[in-house]
Structure 1
């Protein structure tokens, strides 16, 4: 398996190097040069596989022999053995032919666990094999941070620095990061928003001189291809559990950075019958406007009750645009430069093709809370605010009542008690393994939104 940059001016890499590289040297994102494609018969043959065995089938071609099959299967087995539900990604029915795919059964109660628990094991394997040390610098709008720390804290070959916007994540999200013990874990509360954190992260990849050539900088954000690769699996799993591939499926995906729904797009291209993908956003609706109006225009970031989607610059949208522009790296590179500074309209023909599969919808805080309250009243099922946005978008954009509609349940509602209480409901209790979360000691450093300060902190810490 070879990987190429979306901007066309970086070397082709194989899986191990893509895993350790993150952002391409030309500023682009790595994607497979060619996607594996499965026949309906082959997909059908996977129908009765447990989650970990299905994951091996889907992930193996992306690894391309870089890791022995037995070692890869072992890492996958260990990853999902730690989830709270034996099904790993169970489906909950909320109405006729309407479901929530519960992706919050992992140790940090968010969908990020599916990829980051595996990523930590992959990194440890490859760094040990190469006898190298790595530095993780991550940016999180809430859930990536704790999932990354939980997945990577055990490695003695990694130092982990997680940036999050100070006072802009929920208290449970913050405490899940700041109470994790580990001599190699550093939480950085940045005086800014998620886009500021993400911007500094990308700048670190562009200039790694602060690491003195002695450490490799590694991405845990969804710019890292392995994150997307692992998320493709649960689209196949959900479909197979509802009669796929002999039925089309529709998915509604709460998304801010476009990584989770891009995985669904890949599943479709790999042969899974997907009839509709719905981009569900909050008030920060740049993705909704880009798809529905063919216009990419940045608006000021709004703070909402669904903070994991409080994002303006959606990094993984570039991976979709790469296909929209016929995989022309040079053309996309020019486009991305314009998108940083001005309003952009995309190729009309390419976006028309996108809208054959994609729809989009934006939901504000009031409607989010109304949706939480309504569904709880109808079914007794409690949604977190992000999943509620997905459910509302699914009901507004659904094209066909005969096609199963699956909303990705991205987080456990206990992580967002403010939204639950604003909906007039009682906040759920923390699960057993987190019952003492509010009693645990926190460790974090408040930092200015300053790239030099970040680089200095990392360098002083790892070279102390």
Structure 2
């Protein structure tokens, strides 16, 4: 399996191991497989048996083998077996699925060590990085951006690993107290937290600027753990397969997924699974007040907001107005026209966005790709959390509430069951939970000491050069 950049008209092939460590393509594009492997009935049947008899880790190895041919199958099995274990994940199923009501289900992605769905990809990424670096005798400097959960998931997955440094940028003052405590409370010598004076989009822009500096990237072995890294999306494809299997009894049954999203990574993995032939009906995009994606799927206009126009909300991990992974989907929607994608995302997005409302591709978004969308507000989140808790005795976090609210709106228009993908546990968003149900969420025993930990974080200006210098000032120690 070879990979190409979304902006490379020459379709230069790259191996999985090379793009694993590279993250962003040299031309600023994102990597995708030359073609998606296609699933047949016998593969789906085998995967059902694997999940039932061998578990999630074995299923993950099966899916990964379709996309990775430069790591031996036995090594992949060992990698996934280390990544997805109990009790590191708080359920032996790793990703259980529960019935909420009617045709609405919850896919529980927050059983990992940081109580966020990002653990599903990060735990695998940590193992893949360590494996490949050992094979090459090399080191890696991870530079990432987080609006809430990516940072802690990455740091918990990479902490203590030899020859890996992590520099994680966060928007100063824009995460919950629990999220900050999870990250800034770590004191591992290979983990560096940076509070940037700006929004998540500013943090993301700095990461991209650093990756775009070819000399700096090469000299400092810069890699990425944000969802621009293809391996993260590949890991996420696995739980779509898992959730489909756990919700259906036969291979001809379809399900729909409703996914709270800001950066388009989580639901992009669903797009990939659907393109492979997994029986998915609709992919429902759920946004908060930062509704750039909902606006696009309704109107065809992708209108990027400035930092000043990006709302600070009670579902902060979705406070994003430039969705990095959206480029991957548009690449497919435009028939993989790399030159056009380079113009849209390399030029027009910088000028404020683009309009595909008159393009033939816009007509195919729902018909051929299954995408529809909806929006939620703070009032919707609070009301949904309260309603689900009072009626069903289930407590959900604000981001998942955005998804449930939008899923409920689409239930009557969708003939298949809808699986809403959970994004985090309520403990990470105590203030909003308290507003909704009148008390703070319970804190599991494994998280009891987090809030009391001493914080370690560097405050830096919104400037890529300042971040580069900080990286240079903190070399690998092991």
Normalised to the residue count of structure 2, the TM-score between the two structures is 0.94
1:239 pairs with 234, 240, 244, which one? 244
Q: Deviations over 1:393-448 (max 9, x none)?
A: 11112355641110000100100111111213322122221111112121111111
Alpha-carbon offset, residue 450 of structure 1: 1.3
- C-alpha contact (below 8 Å) 1:277/1:359 kept by paired residues: yes
The alignment partner of 1:398 has SS state of helix
Question: 1:319-334 maps to which residues of 2 (within 5 A)?
Answer: 319-334=328-343
Taking a change above 3 Å as real, the CA distance of residues 463 and 127 of structure 1, as seen in their structure-2 partners, is: closer
1:206 pairs with 209, 212, 228, which one? 212
Q: Deviations over 1:141-194 (max 9, x none)?
A: 000000001111121111110000111011111111111231111000111100
Q: Which residue of 2 aligns with 1:157?
A: 163
Q: Which residue of 2 aligns with 1:130?
A: 136
Q: Which residue of 2 aligns with 1:304?
A: 313
Taking a change above 3 Å as real, the CA distance of residues 8 and 210 of structure 1, as seen in their structure-2 partners, is: closer
1:348 pairs with 333, 349, 359, which one? 359
2:67 pairs with 36, 45, 62, which one? 62
2:425 is aligned with 1:424: no
1:176 pairs with 182, 198, 221, which one? 182
2:110 is aligned with 1:117: no
Taking a change above 3 Å as real, the CA distance of residues 350 and 399 of structure 1, as seen in their structure-2 partners, is: farther
The answer to which of 98-107 and 55-64 deviates more is 55-64
- C-alpha contact (below 8 Å) 1:278/1:358 kept by paired residues: yes
Alpha-carbon offset, residue 256 of structure 1: 0.4
2:451 is aligned with 1:446: no
Q: Distance in 2 between matches of 1:321 and 1:241?
A: 30
- C-alpha contact (below 8 Å) 2:64/2:76 kept by paired residues: no
Taking a change above 3 Å as real, the CA distance of residues 67 and 376 of structure 1, as seen in their structure-2 partners, is: same
- C-alpha contact (below 8 Å) 1:165/1:194 kept by paired residues: yes
Alpha-carbon offset, residue 463 of structure 1: 7.1
Taking a change above 3 Å as real, the CA distance of residues 352 and 70 of structure 1, as seen in their structure-2 partners, is: same
The alignment partner of 1:226 has SS state of helix
Alpha-carbon offset, residue 210 of structure 1: 4.0
- C-alpha contact (below 8 Å) 1:190/1:448 kept by paired residues: yes
Aligned-pair Cα RMSD in Å: 1.4
Unaligned runs of 5+ in 2: none
Q: Deviations over 1:256-289 (max 9, x none)?
A: 0001001011111111111101000000000000
Taking a change above 3 Å as real, the CA distance of residues 353 and 3 of structure 1, as seen in their structure-2 partners, is: same
Q: Distance in 1 between matches of 2:466 and 2:103?
A: 52
The alignment partner of 2:263 has SS state of coil
Q: Deviations over 1:117-149 (max 9, x none)?
A: 110110111111111111000100000000001
1:253 pairs with 253, 259, 279, which one? 259
Unaligned runs of 5+ in 1: none
- C-alpha contact (below 8 Å) 2:7/2:341 kept by paired residues: yes
Taking a change above 3 Å as real, the CA distance of residues 208 and 432 of structure 1, as seen in their structure-2 partners, is: farther
Q: Which runs of 4+ in 1 moved over 6 A?
A: none
Report how many aligned residue pairs link the two structures: 462
The alignment partner of 2:169 has SS state of strand
The alignment partner of 1:138 has SS state of strand
The alignment partner of 2:84 has SS state of helix
The alignment partner of 1:241 has SS state of helix
